[in-house]
Amino acid sequence: MSTAVETPAHSVAERLAEEDLREAHQDSDEVARHHAAPSRILERAVATSVLGLSILGYFGARSVPVANETGGLDPRWWPANICLVAIALSAILLVVSFRSPPFDRDDLEPISEGGWFRLFSTLLLSTAFVVAWNLTGNFVVPCALLLATLVWVYGARGWKTLALFPVVTSGCIYLLFHTLLKVPL
Amino acid sequence: MNPVIQGLEALVDPTVLLGMALGIGIGMLVGTFPGVTAAMAVALASGFTLTLAPVEGLAVLLSIYVGANFGDRVPAILINTPGTPAAISTTFDGYPMAKQGKAGLALVISGLATAVAILLSMVVFAVAAVPIASFALNFGPFEFFALVVFGLTIMISISSKSLVKGILAGLFGLFLATVGHDPITPDARFTFGLDVLADKLDFIAVIIGLFGIAELFDQMLSHSKTKLKPVSSLGRWWPNKSEYRQMGKPLALGSTIGTIVGIVPAAGGDIAGLIGWDRAKRISKHPEKFGKGSIEGVVAADAASASTLGGALTTTLALGIPGDSVLAVMLGSMIIWGLQPGPQLFVSNPDLVVSITAIMVIATLVSLALNLVRMRGLVKVLDLPAHFLWASILVFCVIGTYATTNNISTVVVMLVAGVVGVVMKRTGFPAGPVVLGLLLGPLAEANLRRAMLIDGPSGFLTNPIAAIILTLAILAFIGTLVGRIRQNRRSATVLAEAARELNTPGAETTSTMNDARTVRTPQKED
């Protein structure tokens, strides 16, 4: 009798547990899709790089040319000490990266398809814009070209976006900054 | 005639009113554009106002000063890019609120906190200008270095996840601050013969790179069409009764901290905002909400940074020492007008002091009204497709940076800082401590070396003010460390219990599962 009563109750509990588990896995998958994954390799690479940069910084600080060699609290003292502390801390970071689980990265979204292309294209185009602006001394034309190319790279199509937007925006910026705020563009 | 009446009468002049209207408009505009600072706008406006009467000119300059303090919060909340350095701490909770669909609420709360804080700080200015400023005048190298150390401990509490990474980020900022000429001797450090590095790294370029460009690059990397909670819904605008109540404590705390920090020469809204945010987090009943869209966080940060205006004005006018970079520019204009800021100003031109107070108060109230009305139109920016926003923000960051020095090399510095910023962001190093280190580095190094030369390390023990500030800094560091260890242990216990009970089918599983989901929910919203 008692078994007959307990069995349905137990199976309901089991079903609830299974549903919760399934829901938890779904939640977990959903979260994983929107968050960057923790990476032990990344943590080790970061710690090693920071350690290397700190050592480089220390030797750089020690080799700063000083007009009067007074020793003690000279211009090398402060940056060299900063680097020494950084060396110690990055060594700790390196040890932690081998001994502890990697830091979660739930505040970051994973890199999406086309993400690297957008980033490197933007960097390349921005560099080209700076060079063109510097060489020609003209702001408006390189700026309009930059805007047109950028929106094309980001996936926009249509003449309004590719022609009207860059021309109007460049013109407005020129009027606002060059004419009103007297920034020599 | 009574100086109060005389000072107020001077404001009835239509030229003064026109100057205030113009100043508020320009101030809000430059504040809204990331990288275009109030100091730059005041410097540009100084050239045009020198031919005006002192009250008329001051109406323009002070209104720009106030207007920029309202405008700079808008991009900080909407695009995670502080319009000026004073709005750095606004991004901590303002942007998460916007991402949760509460941008409208964040903007209104920010505007209200800014206005109330400026008005409160002006009360301090009006009542206690000379006695308070004379206290900060006693600060020597020991006290200044102790103050910097106290400020630097903030970088630890604002750094995320890894304490070590936070400190390393701060050290990186301190190291970057050593680029250029040594603060005591004329020796050059890490300039590599480049003109752009000869003086020092341009602070504005680095801040725009680390905050604006890095965020932009990160969005480009991770952008996808399906998002959990995109920053497109503004939600409601006005706070409810419960939210108004939440504002009280951080507002009082932030205003007090900001006014005190503002009195200290060179310490501006950026430092005050960071300290105010951190202190409010410590006394809050819900510190876990800070950095994730806390109303208290927005209020404390904005109240602290905005209330530096009254404190900085106190130091500038009562002592003749500029309270911040904007007032340093303004000080130059006042001297050209034949006014000598300092205690004597209160004796020789009491009516002008009254006029200045009234200009600040009126500009604050008008800016608040404009801020609330104008934001409704401005927030439509969020509805723009990503390609318009990304391209526009990139170009505005370039122009804003260029405008600070009129030198294209500064733009290169900004782009490099952007690349460094996105690498740091993706690898878990916070940008806030870098900026703070860069800002406080020269002050720390110069004062420490001077202090050591004057009296040696024992001087920190024999100077009571320095000793108290250093003790507070040490306590703040230990408090943060202990808090983090406890937090990690609590999280580990909850996760271990959840994992253990997940493997035990039964009635208890349901409640544990709910707990486990509760732990993850905030992460999902991030």
Strand partners, B189: B180
Q: What is the pLDDT of residue A101?
A: 76
Chain B nearest CA to A151, separation (Å): 5
| B161–A103 C-beta distance less than 8 A | yes
Q: What is the pLDDT of residue B379?
A: 56
B394 → chain A, closest CA residue: A126
Q: Inform me whether the C-beta atom of residue B387 falls under 8 Å from chain A C-beta atoms.
A: yes
Contact B23, B64 (CB under 8 A): yes
Contact B238, B108 (CB under 8 A): yes
For residues A148 and B88, which has the higher predicted lDDT (pLDDT)? A148
Q: What is the band of B88 on the pLDDT scale with cuts at 50, 70, 90?
A: confident
Question: Which of B 326-345 lie inside 8 A of A, CB atoms?
Answer: none
DSSP annotation of B55 reads H
DSSP annotation of B51 reads T
Q: What is the pLDDT averaged over residues A114-128?
A: 92
| B449–A77 C-beta distance less than 8 A | yes
| Burial class (CB within 10 angstroms; exposed 0-12, middle 13-18, buried 19+) of A11 | exposed
Q: Which residues of B touch A60 (CB under 8 A)?
A: 190
Q: What is the pLDDT of residue A1?
A: 38
Query: What is the distance between the alpha carbons of residues B392 and B412, in angstroms, rounded to a whole number?
Result: 18
Query: For an interface test with A, which of B92, B427, B485 has the most A Cβ atoms less than 10 Å from its Cβ?
Result: B427
A4 has a pLDDT exceeding 50: no
Q: Which residue has the tokens 């959840």?
A: B498
| B190–A64 C-beta distance less than 8 A | yes
B266: left (phi over 0), alpha (psi -120 to 50) or beta: left
Q: What is the pLDDT averaged over residues B83-91?
A: 84
Q: What is the band of A88 on the pLDDT scale with cuts at 50, 70, 90?
A: very high
Neighbours of A39 (CB within 10 A): 14
A37 → chain B, closest CA residue: B426
Query: For an interface test with A, which of B185, B191, B220 has the most A Cβ atoms less than 10 Å from its Cβ?
Result: B220
Amino acid letter for position A59: F
Q: Inform me whether the C-beta atom of residue B178 falls under 8 Å from chain A C-beta atoms.
A: yes
What share of chain A has pLDDT > 70, as a percent?
79
B521 has a pLDDT exceeding 70: no
Query: What is the distance between the alpha carbons of residues B291 and B139, in angstroms, rounded to a whole number?
Result: 33
Q: What is the band of B160 on the pLDDT scale with cuts at 50, 70, 90?
A: low
Q: What is the band of A173 on the pLDDT scale with cuts at 50, 70, 90?
A: confident
Q: Inform me whether the C-beta atom of residue B217 falls under 8 Å from chain A C-beta atoms.
A: yes
Q: Inform me whether the C-beta atom of residue A182 falls under 8 Å from chain B C-beta atoms.
A: yes
Q: Which residues of B touch A119 (CB under 8 A)?
A: 217, 220-221, 422
The two structure tokens encoding residue B468: 């108290």
Q: What is the pLDDT of residue B298?
A: 92
Half-sphere exposure of A163 (CA within 13 A, CB side): 3
Q: What is the pLDDT of residues A129-140, one digit of tens each?
A: 999 998 988 889
Query: What is the distance between the alpha carbons of residues B138 and B488, in angstroms, rounded to a whole number?
Result: 42
Query: What is the distance between the alpha carbons of residues B7 and B355, in angstroms, rounded to a whole number?
Result: 5
Over its C-alpha atoms, chain B yields an Rg (Å, rounded) of: 23
| Burial class (CB within 10 angstroms; exposed 0-12, middle 13-18, buried 19+) of A31 | middle
- Considering only CA atoms, which of B94, B89, B74, B93 is closest in space to residue B34? B74
DSSP annotation of B291 reads T
The answer for residues whose C-beta is within 8 angstroms of residue A76's C-beta and 6 or more apart is: A61, A62, A64, A66
Q: Which residues of A touch B168 (CB under 8 A)?
A: 50, 86, 89-90, 93
| B453–A73 C-beta distance less than 8 A | yes
Nearest CB among A17, A24, A83 relative to B506 is that of A17
Terminal-to-terminal C-alpha distance of chain A = 91
Amino acid letter for position B192: F
Query: What is the distance between the alpha carbons of residues B257 and B232, in angstroms, rounded to a whole number?
Result: 34
What is the 3 state secondary structure string of B422-456? HHHHHCCCCCHHHHHHHHHHHHHHHHHHHHHHHHC
The two structure tokens encoding residue B509: 């599983």
Q: Which residues of B touch A18 (CB under 8 A)?
A: 505
Q: Give the residue extent of every domain in chain A.
A: 1-34, 40-99, 115-180
Q: Which contacts of B512-517 are long-range, i.e. CB under 8 A and separated by 24 or more positions?
A: B513/A17, B513/A20, B513/A21, B513/A23, B513/A24, B516/A24, B517/A23, B517/A24, B517/A27
Q: Which residues of A touch B176 (CB under 8 A)?
A: none
The answer for residues whose C-beta is within 8 angstroms of residue B340's C-beta and 6 or more apart is: B320, B334
- Considering only CA atoms, which of B376, B345, B292, B300 is closest in space to residue B54? B345
CB pairs under 8 A between A and B: 198
Q: Inform me whether the C-beta atom of residue A131 falls under 8 Å from chain B C-beta atoms.
A: no
Q: What is the pLDDT averaged over residues B138-150?
A: 75
Highest mean pLDDT among A19-23, B249-253, B311-315: B249-253
- Considering only CA atoms, which of B144, B143, B28, B142 is closest in space to residue B84? B28
Chain B nearest CA to A2, separation (Å): 18
The answer for residues whose C-beta is within 8 angstroms of residue A170's C-beta and 6 or more apart is: A139, A140, A143, A144, A147
Q: Which contacts of A145-149 are long-range, i.e. CB under 8 A and separated by 24 or more positions?
A: A146/B391, A146/B395, A147/B391, A147/B392, A147/B395, A149/A125
Contact B235, B101 (CB under 8 A): yes
Query: For an interface test with A, which of B395, B396, B414, B426 has the most A Cβ atoms less than 10 Å from its Cβ?
Result: B395
Q: Which residues of A touch B190 (CB under 8 A)?
A: 60, 64, 79
The two structure tokens encoding residue B381: 């920016």
Q: What is the pLDDT averaged over residues B201-215?
A: 79
Contact B249, B287 (CB under 8 A): no
Q: Inform me whether the C-beta atom of residue B503 falls under 8 Å from chain A C-beta atoms.
A: no
What share of chain B has pLDDT > 70, as a percent?
81
Contact B428, B165 (CB under 8 A): yes
Query: What is the distance between the alpha carbons of residues B292 and B275, in angstroms, rounded to a whole number?
Result: 18
Calculate the average pLDDT of chain B: 79
Q: What is the pLDDT of residues B396-440, one digit of tens each?
A: 788 877 877 788 888 899 899 999 999 998 888 888 778 778 877
Using CA of residue A164, residue B396, residue B217, residue A128, what is the dihedral sign? positive
| B392–A169 C-beta distance less than 8 A | yes
Helix/strand/coil percent split, chain B, to 5: 80, 0, 20
Cα–Cα distances in angstroms (integers) from residue B149 to residues B101, B138, B169, B224, B437, in the given order:
37, 18, 15, 42, 10
Q: Inform me whether the C-beta atom of residue B402 falls under 8 Å from chain A C-beta atoms.
A: yes
Q: What is the band of B516 on the pLDDT scale with cuts at 50, 70, 90?
A: very low
Element (H, E) at B523: helix B508-525
Chain B nearest CA to A47, separation (Å): 9
Beta strands in chain A (DSSP E): none
What is the 3 state secondary structure string of B178-232? CCEECCCCCCEECCCCCHHHHCCCCHHHHHHHHHHHHHHHHHHHHCCCCCCCCCC
Question: Which of A 68-97 lie inside 8 A of B, CB atoms?
Answer: 68, 73-75, 77-79, 82-83, 85-86, 89-90, 92-93, 96
What is the 3 state secondary structure string of A156-185? CCCHHHHHHHHHHHHHHHHHHHHHHCCCCC
Query: What is the distance between the alpha carbons of residues B412 and B195, in angstroms, rounded to a whole number?
Result: 13
Chain A nearest CA to B234, separation (Å): 21
Query: What is the distance between the alpha carbons of residues A110 and B434, in angstroms, rounded to a whole number?
Result: 24
Strand partners, A36: A105
Q: Inform me whether the C-beta atom of residue A158 falls under 8 Å from chain B C-beta atoms.
A: no
Q: What is the pLDDT of residues B240-299, one digit of tens each?
A: 888 888 888 999 999 999 988 887 665 678 888 888 898 888 888 888 888 888 899 999
Query: What is the distance between the alpha carbons of residues B298 and B110, in angstroms, rounded to a whole number?
Result: 6
> Per-residue DSSP letters for B76-96?
HHHSS--SSGGGHHHHHHHHH
A45 → chain B, closest CA residue: B427
Contact B299, B168 (CB under 8 A): no
Nearest CB among B395, B402, B428 relative to A103 is that of B428
The two structure tokens encoding residue B259: 């006014």
Question: Which of A 9-48 lie inside 8 A of B, CB atoms?
Answer: 13-14, 16-18, 20-21, 23-24, 27-28, 30-31, 34-36, 42, 46
Query: What is the distance between the alpha carbons of residues B276 and B253, in angstroms, rounded to a whole number?
Result: 7
Tell me whether 0.90 is exceeded by the ipTM.
no
- Considering only CA atoms, which of A102, A109, A119, A106 is closest in space to residue A39? A102
- Considering only CA atoms, which of B468, B406, B154 is closest in space to residue A134? B406
Contact B257, B272 (CB under 8 A): yes
Q: What is the pLDDT of residue A146?
A: 93
